[in-house]
Amino acid sequence: MTATENTIRFSVHTLDKATKAKVTLENYYSNLIAQHVERKQRLAKLEESLKDDSLSEEQKHEKRLQHAQKETEFLRLKRSRLGVEDFEPLKVIGRGAFGEVRLVQKKDTGHVYAMKILRKADMLEKEQVAHVRAERDILVEADHQWVVKMYYSFQDPINLYLIMEFLPGGDMMTLLMKKDTLSEEFTQFYIAETALAIDSIHKLGFIHRDIKPDNLLLDAKGHLKLSDFGLCTGLKKSHRTDFYRDLSQAKPSDFSELCEMREGAFV
């Protein structure tokens, strides 16, 4: 029996399965390496900020502990599998061009959040992938007092879901409608907080591009936070609409590859 006769012939179906398995494994380990690099970069960024001589050793230690807790929480969320069924809808609190915002309650903890729902088909049709990517980046990077916090993200075949911090103070537009005219003291306060909020995201390399009273939310203590980064842009190629023009024929089911969204964070 010759070597040629000993050659094993695989069916097209088997070859297709093998190719998919290969791609899946390559993507899995590629993501692991990328996550490791990102963790090292975040740690390096933290250590660079701790070179500030005005910080005491105790403050530096506290910041390192906070960083470690965030990394642990991030990994925990990556391992979890959340879905829309894990949240009890309470009411619709806003509507937009690409979906709506609902007030929801997480069934296992009872915590209340704002669930932002984005329709994938509309995102693709109206070339909003770049804006979604920029919104993802700003929500991940801007973990501080001036930006509405994102706790979870996940998707199904139709929608993308962002689980956001719920701010009971409403928005600035509602406050203006109720008060009609703000006092000089209140005006100075909110103008100052708005300027600080905008400056904070500029330092991260992002431009909001949709600053208006509706997007200035108020927390329970009356402090301001920026929201709705749907028109935000950054300095990366992936934040530009023309970067995705060659993906115009993609189907809504392909959106997970375009945005690479996973539980706990976008990656």
Q: Give the annotated binding-site residues for ATP.
A: 116
- Cα dist from 7 to 2, 14, 120, 145, 247, whole Å: 9, 15, 46, 65, 40
Give the residue ranges of the annotated binding site: 116
**Contact by Cβ (8 Å): 158, 254:** no
The number of CA neighbours under 13 Å toward the Cβ of 62 is 5
Q: Is 171 a catalytic residue?
A: no
Give the active site residue among 210, 214, 228, 242: 210
d(CA 210, CA 233): 10
φ, ψ for residue 154, nearest 5 deg: -160, 180
What secondary structure does DSSP assign to 86-102, as a single string?
GEEEEEEEEEETTEEEE
- Cα dist from 242 to 73, 230, 237, whole Å: 35, 16, 9
Residue 93: how many other CB atoms lie within 10 Å? 14
Residue numbers annotated as active site: 210
